Structure 1
Amino acid sequence: MTWSTASYALLLLFNLTLCSAVFVENVSQLNGLKFDFIVVGGGTAGNVIANRLTENPSVSVLVLEAGGSNADVLNIIVPFFNVKATPNTAQDWNFTTTPQVGLGNRAIAYPRGFVLGGSSSVNSMAYTRGSKDDYDRWAKVAGDSGWSWDNVIPYIRRNERFTPPPAANTTQTYDPAAHSLTGINSVRLPTFGRATDALVLNAAASLGQLNKDMNSGTPLGFGWIQQTVKNGSRSSSATSYLAPQFIGRPNLHVMLNTRVTRILKNGSGALQTVEFAQKAGGARFQITASKEVILSAGSIGTPSILLHSGIGDATELSQLGIPLVHNLPSVGKNLTDHPIVRVSWFVNSNTTFDDAERNATVAAEVFAQWNTTRTGLLSDSTSSQIGWLRLPESSPILRGVTDPSSGPLSPHIELIFADGISVSPPPTGHYLTISAAVVSPTSRGSLALNSTDPFAQPVINPNLLGSPVDVAIQRAAIRSAQNFIKAPAWAGYILAPFSLNDTASDEEVDAFSQTHASTLDHPVGTAAMSARGADYGVVDPDLIVKGLRGLRIVDASVFPFIPAAHTQAATYIVAERGADLIKASFGI
């Protein structure tokens, strides 16, 4: 790409979040300080917890974040640059999966945010809540109606600060009743018009598949994507929940570049002591919360810390020589993710963003516009519309198997539209890319340790396309993309296939998926919630670790099922309710 040479020199440094005086820079600053709560992980969920608990000035909170600051990192701040934020950057954990059988034994990069804000600082900013059925299924499996759609709506509203499009923009639709204007995390529709906008919407209308607002709980159909963007810049948990008016609270402390290695029992047997280090092989330190430790290290970090703490499957821990603290076999199991395959076509256009990706002059122009006005191509992510589709009830894919979706309102397939090829387009030509994803997968993977070193990478096996059903749904997703562009609205725009022939056989489509599928970066479920008394799962419906005191988990690892949606919004919802559950436990 040309951005690094043509555009970075134009950057006017600005600070979005940090007020260094309130950040803990070294361990000595903790001497003599006492905290009611310690939050492990300053990511999507952890910053919500820190914010909500410190609303009470008598409650003290320490956040321990493994990564560094999100401030002044261009690839994080500029929405369009989200494709550059990961992998292989200083803001990424730079995980790698095991060889994936469903991907032709390829090991792939597995991006997660290694920075304040966690993955909300590096994701694609898609704000999609999922369906009513997704949350109602959570409530059923957890035996707690508090997780149902109707009961999480207040938490949706508490999280979201929606910016309606200008009244003059009559093509952009949303349902005002589905949104909050008073929350913390900013959400808006795209603002930069693309040639493909009308084509996607007209094609959907001709098929009777337009959706006014897919965040209403009924997402099926095609429509505008909603994004966590504020004034042309990314809105993450770091820029919103730790905005200056919050991070300045004297009862909130945040310590960056600090790796939590274990959670230990205190004198009363509660898991309220946190062991941490600031570099591999460095000194270990301990600090104890007077009330509770909240693990918010994400679907990879949270089970890793549990296992290093001796909380997990007794046999597996014994094989590693980790002393058993609590036998909880479900830790690290149930890893669930969305596989995705990107398919591109040559198009009859010279306005796609391909030129901005490969032409230094164009790159400089669009960056100059963003840098001075926070508008233009770079003020949105790479996609403006998405679609959610269900397989027909008569589909042979579902014959003889339990429907993997959460219910009739939930999709099996997602299509994401981009008017170009991100990161590395060919030297010439203009393109349309449709990313086809399996959003109700049947495959389940796992996370495990292969070392007692907490700085070593865990063994991550998301098992993408690991079942015949998922392979078939992925094929159906690609076929859905191919069929969608046959709508009359696309006539004269689509020229020819670029990456996959439209006449490819089922076997050829499956082979293409095996060699090109990747992750949509949505790992969940590795510390899943289940009903009280269940002989599986890691946390009870109140998110307290089963059979333990003093330790609660609040992040995407507690999802019992993956929502048929991008997982950012659901993580915020879990965190907002998690904060209320903590407050209720301690009467604060």
Structure 2
Amino acid sequence: MAFALRPVFASLAALLAATLASAELYTDASQLPDTVYDFVVVGAGTAGNVMAARLSENPKFTVLVIEAGISNEGVRTVEVPFLATQNIPATATTWNYTTVPQVGLGNRSVAYPRGRVLGGSSSINFLAYTRGADAEFDRWANLTGDAGWAWSNLAPYYLKNARLVPPADHHNTSGQVVPADHGYGPLEMSLPGFATSSDQKVLATTQVNGSLFPYNIDLNSGNSVGIGLTQSTLGGGERSSSATAYLEPALNRPNLHLLIENTVTKLVSSKGAKGVPTFTGVEFASSASAPRHTVTARKEVILSAGAIGSPQILLLSGVGNSTDLKGLGIAPVANLPDVGQNLKDHPILSNYWQVTLNDTFDDIYRDTSVFNAKLAQWNSSRTGLFADSPTNALGFLRIPDNAAIWSQFKDPAAGRQAGHFELLFLDGYAPAPAPGPGNYFTINTAVVTPESVGTVKLNSSSPFAFPLIDPGFFTAPFDVQAMVYAIKSARAFMQSAPWAGVALSRVGPVGDAESDADIIAAARAAARTIYHPTSTARMAPDNAAWGVVDTQLRVKGVSGLRVVDASVFPSIPAAHPQAAVYILAERAADLVKQAWSH
């Protein structure tokens, strides 16, 4: 057995070695003890690790997981919650993608990182866990014609996924969360455990200006409208990911093997019954120049490479628009023109204020000694600033019914308990560092009901060439107008009474913009991705001519292949998508188990 040891903390080396000593984890394909498995899972990310853990609960199933990235163990920016921002854009834990030039962003290309590490993007995201309104999932059921995707049927999988644990400082959380709205699953979730001076001002604003900024005690209650303390995927001051919550506890099972640092190059198919293409294998390699290896799946290949990786692998395997594939010299296997289409994402930008608060996190990026002191506290006790995510509070808000925008556009939200935009509050200048001395406060504004649609296409037939990613940011007029409303909302928030004498002036790229035209121009120059791509292999009714997978997540027109990740979302939730991915994967695991229970 071989594995790559990349600890950032030398003290973790011995622990890592002990943890993996009995685990079936490999980096060298030639050392795999078998080449035939019941299930081969492509991608050890948010969904893939759920599939691996749940399927391997049945000792009769053998499961292999193939991951292109490195181990999550000992990677400081993965383990330390506050340092999540240091995982992007170009690090060893990410696919260092960039978009094609964005017409709606002044022809800028923007960084588009995805997780390339055990846990996938659940190991590098900013930890916010928001499942969204019940109506988000009821819309899935309506779009697919399958009531199994309605919230009433998905609720057990939400409860099965995560559980509340005490915050790092073990304070009394009464009035900050509703325990009854939460479950018992392996993923740990907690409220902030290090109060900042701005937290109380954010919450006070919801009390004095509740008509515009209502308080929501629990954003995972099914009503996602309002502002509350962030519920983050962390426990005991450390990140909780699909790797730590699902995969690692399962690695002692003899029927589960894990191969990392190997890239899947294509899925292998053959003609099955009645000429239907059947996927029976996975080809992979450790690098572009390394030899290709193949493993066989007796029952199914589970593709969980994410909203960028899954359509890329499908296209490389001959599943997609046949004309486009032929143009790249790829033999078509199944003509599914929807593969790589319908990319959805949430555009975000940062709004900054200089403030009179003297304890914001700005100094940790100016003074190495301050940073090291915070890190030392985390190392010794898993407490302090670094034991929390970068965002202690957030909220989803709706554009009022009487707003002028509705004379032009139809409401794209799933329901009245789903927001149109998000405010994320940060006690400092982020992305850091601050532009000058002093202290700052950031409100990130994101459009969470985007109408813009993008694509993922192959750049070449090489599996090691990055695909062409085009989120199409701000190509839909609604998204532009919604961002203007969100920016004005953030400004109104900072003009509320709790911020009197605290918020000194607006700064940053959007700060000087006053007219709508100026705000739009500034937004086009400043917007970026919030890292929420979905819907590039979307689920559709079983008999629909559109879509990529059916309501059981099986790829249409072929056998032996399912897709389980955010690419199958039929619509993008007005929420951070990791919770929905976990919920979807939990149900998908049951669908697979039921299909092979005989």
Which TM-score applies when normalising by structure 1? Answer: 0.96
Partners of 2:251 and 2:514 in 1: CA distance = 54
| Partner of residue 481, structure 1 | 490
| Partner of residue 419, structure 2 | 411
After superposition, the C-alpha distances for 1:529-574 in whole angstroms (9 at most, x for unaligned) are 0111111100001000011100000000000111000011111011
Partners of 2:450 and 2:27 in 1: CA distance = 42
Identity of aligned residues (%): 47
> Do structure 1's residue 19 and structure 2's residue 40 form an aligned pair?
no
1:219 aligned to 203, 221, 224, which one?
Answer: 224
Does the Cα contact within 8 Å between 2:181 and 2:220 map onto a contact in 1?
yes
Partners of 1:147 and 1:496 in 2: CA distance = 46
Does the Cα contact within 8 Å between 1:15 and 1:71 map onto a contact in 2?
no
Does the Cα contact within 8 Å between 1:67 and 1:116 map onto a contact in 2?
yes
| Partner of residue 546, structure 1 | 556
> Do structure 1's residue 46 and structure 2's residue 38 form an aligned pair?
no
1:394 aligned to 402, 408, 420, which one?
Answer: 402
1:251 aligned to 228, 252, 255, which one?
Answer: 255
> Do structure 1's residue 497 and structure 2's residue 506 form an aligned pair?
yes
Structure 1 position 265, deviation (Å): 1.4
* Residues 274/434 of structure 1: CA separation in 2 closer, same or farther (3 Å cut): same
Structure 1 position 175, deviation (Å): 1.1
Structure 1 position 314, deviation (Å): 1.3
Does the Cα contact within 8 Å between 2:535 and 2:570 map onto a contact in 1?
yes
1:119-518 equivalences under 5 Å are 119-164=121-166, 169=172, 173-180=176-183, 182-208=184-210, 209-243=214-248, 245-266=249-270, 268=272, 269-422=277-430, 423-499=432-508, 500-501=510-511, 504-518=514-528
DSSP 3-state at the match of 2:585: helix
Partners of 1:401 and 1:512 in 2: CA distance = 23
DSSP 3-state at the match of 1:270: strand
Structure 1 position 24, deviation (Å): 2.2
Does the Cα contact within 8 Å between 2:351 and 2:511 map onto a contact in 1?
no
| Partner of residue 83, structure 1 | 85
DSSP 3-state at the match of 1:414: strand
Partners of 1:32 and 1:10 in 2: CA distance = 33
Structure 1 position 15, deviation (Å): 4.5
Partners of 1:501 and 1:407 in 2: CA distance = 32
Partners of 1:144 and 1:443 in 2: CA distance = 26
Does the Cα contact within 8 Å between 2:27 and 2:262 map onto a contact in 1?
no
DSSP 3-state at the match of 2:553: coil
Question: Which amino acid is 1:137 matched to?
Answer: R
Structure 1 position 16, deviation (Å): 6.6
Structure 1 position 13, deviation (Å): 5.3
Does the Cα contact within 8 Å between 1:442 and 1:467 map onto a contact in 2?
yes
> Do structure 1's residue 533 and structure 2's residue 543 form an aligned pair?
yes
Partners of 1:309 and 1:471 in 2: CA distance = 37
Return 545-554 or 392-401, whichever deviates more.
392-401
Partners of 1:33 and 1:258 in 2: CA distance = 15
* Residues 271/511 of structure 1: CA separation in 2 closer, same or farther (3 Å cut): same
| Partner of residue 28, structure 1 | 30
DSSP 3-state at the match of 1:126: coil
Task: Mark the runs of 5 or more structure 1 residues left unpaired by the alignment.
Answer: 1-7
* Residues 356/32 of structure 1: CA separation in 2 closer, same or farther (3 Å cut): closer
| Partner of residue 3, structure 1 | none
Structure 1 position 468, deviation (Å): 1.1
Does the Cα contact within 8 Å between 2:280 and 2:296 map onto a contact in 1?
yes
Does the Cα contact within 8 Å between 2:9 and 2:76 map onto a contact in 1?
no
Question: Which amino acid is 2:425 matched to?
Answer: F
Does the Cα contact within 8 Å between 1:340 and 1:520 map onto a contact in 2?
yes
DSSP 3-state at the match of 1:95: coil
Structure 1 position 407, deviation (Å): 1.5
Partners of 1:497 and 1:400 in 2: CA distance = 30
Question: Which amino acid is 2:180 matched to?
Answer: A
Question: Which amino acid is 1:19 matched to?
Answer: L
Aligned alpha-carbon RMSD (Å): 1.7
* Residues 168/306 of structure 1: CA separation in 2 closer, same or farther (3 Å cut): closer
Partners of 1:447 and 1:88 in 2: CA distance = 20
After superposition, the C-alpha distances for 1:193-244 in whole angstroms (9 at most, x for unaligned) are 100111000101112211110101101011011000011111111111012x
Question: Which amino acid is 2:564 matched to?
Answer: V
After superposition, the C-alpha distances for 1:109-163 in whole angstroms (9 at most, x for unaligned) are 1010011110001000100001111100001111111111111110011110211
Structure 1 position 11, deviation (Å): 6.9
* Residues 426/13 of structure 1: CA separation in 2 closer, same or farther (3 Å cut): farther
Structure 1 position 315, deviation (Å): 1.4
Partners of 1:171 and 1:504 in 2: CA distance = 41
Question: Which amino acid is 1:491 matched to?
Answer: A
Does the Cα contact within 8 Å between 1:63 and 1:255 map onto a contact in 2?
yes
Does the Cα contact within 8 Å between 2:44 and 2:66 map onto a contact in 1?
yes
* Residues 267/533 of structure 1: CA separation in 2 closer, same or farther (3 Å cut): closer
* Residues 94/15 of structure 1: CA separation in 2 closer, same or farther (3 Å cut): farther
Return 494-503 or 483-492, whichever deviates more.
494-503
Structure 1 position 416, deviation (Å): 0.1
* Residues 14/526 of structure 1: CA separation in 2 closer, same or farther (3 Å cut): farther
Partners of 2:412 and 2:115 in 1: CA distance = 29
Structure 1 position 267, deviation (Å): 6.0
Partners of 2:503 and 2:393 in 1: CA distance = 17
1:86-105 equivalences under 5 Å are 86-105=88-107
Question: Which amino acid is 2:27 matched to?
Answer: E
Partners of 1:465 and 1:366 in 2: CA distance = 39
Structure 1 position 10, deviation (Å): 9.2
Does the Cα contact within 8 Å between 1:172 and 1:224 map onto a contact in 2?
no
Partners of 2:467 and 2:239 in 1: CA distance = 29
Partners of 2:262 and 2:571 in 1: CA distance = 30
* Residues 16/188 of structure 1: CA separation in 2 closer, same or farther (3 Å cut): farther
Partners of 1:337 and 1:131 in 2: CA distance = 18
* Residues 241/466 of structure 1: CA separation in 2 closer, same or farther (3 Å cut): same
Question: Which amino acid is 1:477 matched to?
Answer: A
